[in-house]
Amino acid sequence: MRRPLWIKHAAQLVTVAGGKGPRIGAEMSELGLIEDGSVWVENGEIKAVGTTAELEAQFGEWAEDADVYEAKGRLVTPGLIDPHTHFVYGGSREKEFEMRLEGASYMDIMNAGGGIHATARMTRKATEEELYRQAERRLDSFLRHGVTTVEGKSGYGMELQTELKQLNVMKQLNERHPVDIIPTFMGAHAVPPEFKGREDDFVRLIIDEMIPAVAADQLAVFNDVFCEVGVYTPEQSRRILEAGKRHGLAPKIHADEIEPYGGAELAAEVGAVSAEHLLKASVEGIRQMAAAGVIACLLPATALYLREEAAQGREMIDAGVPVAISTDCNPGSSPTTSMPLVMNLACISMRMTPAEALVAATINAAHAIGMQDKAGSIEPGKQADLVIWNVENYQELQYLFGINHVGAVWKKGEKVI
Ligand code: NIG
Ligand code: FE
């Protein structure tokens, strides 16, 4: 039996406790704040939450046998959850960053064989060991930014071997690294050059060979598609997502990122767990997502990096769509691991409130990747994934932007930062 952990004297303990489904509307502002808060942890699990005085009364006599950690007037939150990343990839694309600043568009670069295709070439070439080492460094960086759970997508292979290589790297890292990883298959990330003009043949390959192989080895939980003008049509995306469902892979969809294309509507139709990006989502698509309970996973760092208008986060919340936020960590459109920056941007560029940004980065993000029973809030029975921030309150965390305020991080009760 491990020694219990007692974190005490948090100026504010943000529990985000209570509620069943993803938070919508006014619920997105409910933080379950406890002033002078305390958490008692046993065997990696949260055992009790309350004020320091309450926990003193309940556990004070065992304090000598516990690791006691003074939050000393700082903010404590659940470990952040990043529900949308592409963190396993080979190489780097800093030259494209310069090209874009000189005027080339993201899609121009991709259509000329760069972008996702460039990373796919480097990922195909990399050994599993090389991919593992690079991805491990990115996970370390997530942890340093207070992120204790990430979703990760394949999609830089677009051929079975490399897709499996990426998913295997995630499987091994999930076993060895403190960060929990939820894997997503994204064979339909782009159309590989060898299938140019024969897109439907590649869709058939994904459906007939890749999805069954990934599902048979239980290498993914979700199935994602880049539904975009010039990539996959809504009709092709529907076929791929329905095929995933038949193999037990829940649908996600990169929707309406660059052009309005009916992606939000498709997400509602196929019962996607979440729809991602949505910069150009239609009002009708947003209405349908609200009615179907599809989580909008919004990526304001990507919008900033592509120098695009951010998604309509405020309007989506007001329309009753549950909103989560994410880094989209990838080598082209958002090379960052900073969820705190993403929370800042959710406030600045999508007019979300500091409380809504925290809910979007914790419990709603947990719902977006099926982790709501284990993570995303500080409640008895959940994993002790906890962060102390060197600020006094949650507003300060969003207000002092672009700064890493992480003071300490615990994953399943182990101090990792
Ligand atoms: O979510 N939009 C498609 N996929 C990623 C970008 C991947 C890349 O550029 O390497 C995204 O933005
Ligand atoms: Fe993405």
- The tens-digit pLDDT sequence of the chain (417 residues) is 899 999 999 999 999 999 999 999 999 999 999 999 999 999 999 999 999 999 999 999 999 999 999 999 999 999 999 999 999 999 999 999 999 999 999 999 999 999 999 999 999 999 999 999 999 999 999 999 999 999 999 999 999 999 999 999 999 999 999 999 999 999 999 999 999 999 999 999 999 999 999 999 999 999 999 999 999 999 999 999 999 999 999 999 999 999 999 999 999 999 999 999 999 999 999 999 999 999 999 999 999 999 999 999 999 999 999 999 999 999 999 999 999 999 999 999 999 999 999 999 999 999 999 999 999 999 999 999 999 999 999 999 999 999 999 999 999 999 999
Q: What is the pLDDT of residue 45?
A: 98
Q: Residue 137, class by beta-carbon neighbours within 10 Å (0-12 exposed, 13-18 middle, 19+ buried)?
A: exposed
Q: Which helix (H) or strand (E) holds 33?
A: strand 33-42
Ligand 2 centroid to residue 369 C-alpha, Å: 14
* Residues 327 and 387 placed together within one structural domain of the fold: no
In whole angstroms, give the CA distance from residue 94 to residue 166. Answer: 22
Residue 129 sits in the same domain as residue 264: yes
Q: Is 151 in the pocket of ligand 1 (CB under 6 A)?
A: no
- Long-range contacts of residues 112-117, Cβ cutoff 8 Å, at least 24 apart: 113/193, 115/190, 115/332, 116/155, 116/156, 116/189, 116/190, 116/332, 117/190, 117/192, 117/193
254 CA from centroid of ligand 2 (Å) = 7
pLDDT at 1: 80
| Nearest protein Cα to ligand 1, atom 3 | 226
Residues 146 and 268 in one domain: yes
Distance 58 CA to ligand 2 centre (A): 45
User: Residue ranges of the alpha helices (H) in 206-281?
Assistant: 211-216, 234-246, 263-270
Give the distance (Å) from ligand 1 centre to CA of residue 160. Answer: 19
Q: Are residues 195 and 313 in the same domain?
A: yes
- Residue 264 to residue 281: CA distance in whole angstroms: 6
Q: Where residue 24 sits, what CATH number does that domain have?
A: 2.30.40.10
User: Strands 75-78 and 67-70: what pairing?
Assistant: unpaired
123 in contact with ligand 1, CB cutoff 6 A:
no
Q: Which atom of ligand 1 is nearest to the CA of 228?
A: 2
Task: Supply the DSSP string of 49-106, one letter for each residue.
Answer: EEEHHHHHHHHGGGGGGSEEEE-TT-EEEEPEEE-------SS--HHHHHHHHTT--H
96 CB near ligand 1 (under 6 Å) = no
| Beta-carbon contacts of residue 314 (< 8 Å; ≥ 6 apart) | 350, 351, 352
CATH number of the domain within which 345 lies: 3.20.20.140
What pLDDT score was predicted for residue 138?
Answer: 98
Note if the pTM is more than 0.90: yes
Say what the pLDDT of residue 73 is.
93
Query: Hunting for tokens 């919340």 — which residue is that?
Result: 317
Full residue range of the structural domain in which residue 348 is found: 80-368
- Whether residue 151 contacts residue 122, with contact meaning beta carbons closer than 8 Å, is answered with no
Give the other-Cβ count within 10 Å of 389's Cβ.
26
Pairing of the two strands 222-227 and 250-255: parallel
Contact (Cβ atoms closer than 8 angstroms) between residue 182 and residue 139:
no
Q: Which residues are CB-contacts of 133 (< 8 A; sequence separation ≥ 6)? A: none
How many whole angstroms separate alpha carbon 281 and alpha carbon 312?
8
Domain shared by 187 and 285, yes or no: yes
On whether both 113 and 49 belong to a single domain, the answer is no
Residues whose CB is less than 8 angstroms from the CB of residue 389 and which lie 6 or more positions away in sequence, other chains included: 74, 75, 76, 77, 146, 397, 405, 406, 407
Binding-site residue set = 84, 86, 93, 156, 189, 254, 257, 328, 330, 332-333
Regarding whether 193 and 327 lie in a shared domain, the answer is yes
The answer on 346 and 265 residing in a single domain is yes
Helix (H) or strand (E) holding 170: helix 160-176
> Rg of the Cα trace of the chain?
21
Are both 70 and 217 inside the same structural domain?
A: no
* Residue 252: per-residue pLDDT: 98
Same domain for 42 and 165, yes or no, is no
Indicate if ipTM > 0.90: yes
CA angle 139, 73, 32 (to 5 degrees): 75
If asked whether residues 246 and 197 sit together in one domain, one would say yes
Using CB atoms within 10 Å of the CB of residue 64, give its burial: 0 to 12 exposed, 13 to 18 middle, 19+ buried. exposed
Q: How many domains does the chain have?
A: 2
Alpha-carbon distance 230 to 220, whole Å? 26
Q: Specify whether 69 is located in the same domain as 100.
A: no
37: Cβ below 6 Å to ligand 1? no
The pLDDT value recorded for residue 398 is 97
Cβ atoms of 80 and 369 closer than 8 Å:
no
